[in-house]
Amino acid sequence: MKSKLSKLILICLALVVFANTAQAMTCILTVPPPFSTGGKFLVCPAGDGDLPSHPPFTLQLLDSSLVPIANYPFEDIRLEFVDPVPGPSPRVSLGFCNPGLIADSNTDANGMTTFSGGALFGCGSVRNPLIQVVVNSTACATTPTLIEIVSVDFNCDGMVTKAGDNPIMTALKSTCPWAIDLNHSPAGGLMKDASILAKHIFPPPLTHTCP
């Protein structure tokens, strides 16, 4: 009888832990300009693209009763740029160098935290991405945008190299031309875009890589 009671208590405790872990959350994300206003931007794994400095993204976490969730661990809160319409091959969506856009700190007493990454250390390309908050591997908030982000790291291997990225750039010319428009102007042509790519390869260090 005592053994059965002990098992029942353990089961009840497990259910309580599961309920607390799986509690519903409300995420309120404030998106700063230029992400909220639109534009075209270049990113590089080394972080030396042309994305201007910007205010931080602000996030508030609330529980199912709309009470702020304090001290939620920052490492479990992530910001993602999701491609709403995956493009033709060869093509990759936007990616980030590790650890990516992780929250700056645990949530405070008001359930608030920020994402202050100024430069995007990234690769790939995305048009009109959805900015999505992921909390403990679960999507919590999604905001549409009118921005376009392209990268000199076309194959998304975390480094910019002539051998790795030139062939992809040539292939994308016909399948997804906007993804190689590095100078944000169709009038520039492939040669202009190739010269921008070259600047991220030469002079030494020969490749721009993730930090």
* pLDDT score for 8: 38
Percent of the chain scored above 70 by pLDDT?
78
* pLDDT score for 31: 92
Residue 197: name the closest of 43, 58, 10 by CA: 43
d(Cα 55, Cα 52) in Å, to the nearest integer? Answer: 10
What's the chain's Rg over C-alpha atoms? 21
In this prediction the pTM is 0.74
Is residue 202 a contact partner of residue 152, using CB atoms and an 8 Å limit?
no
* pLDDT score for 86: 61
Residue 201: name the closest of 50, 46, 40, 96 by CA: 46
* pLDDT score for 163: 80
User: Per-residue confidence of the chain (211 residues) as pLDDT tens digits?
Assistant: 545 444 433 333 333 333 334 458 999 999 998 888 888 888 888 888 887 778 899 999 999 999 999 999 999 999 888 877 765 544 446 777 765 689 999 999 999 999 986 567 778 788 888 888 999 989 898 898 888 888 888 888 888 888 888 788 877 777 778 888 888 876 656 778 888 888 888 665 567 888 7
* pLDDT score for 149: 87
* pLDDT score for 158: 83
d(Cα 81, Cα 179) in Å, to the nearest integer? Answer: 15
Q: Which residues are paired to 87 by β-bridges? A: none
* pLDDT score for 141: 86
Instruction: Please state whether 109 falls in left (phi above 0), alpha (psi between -120 and 50) or beta.
Output: alpha
Q: What DSSP character marks residue 155?
A: T
* pLDDT score for 202: 66
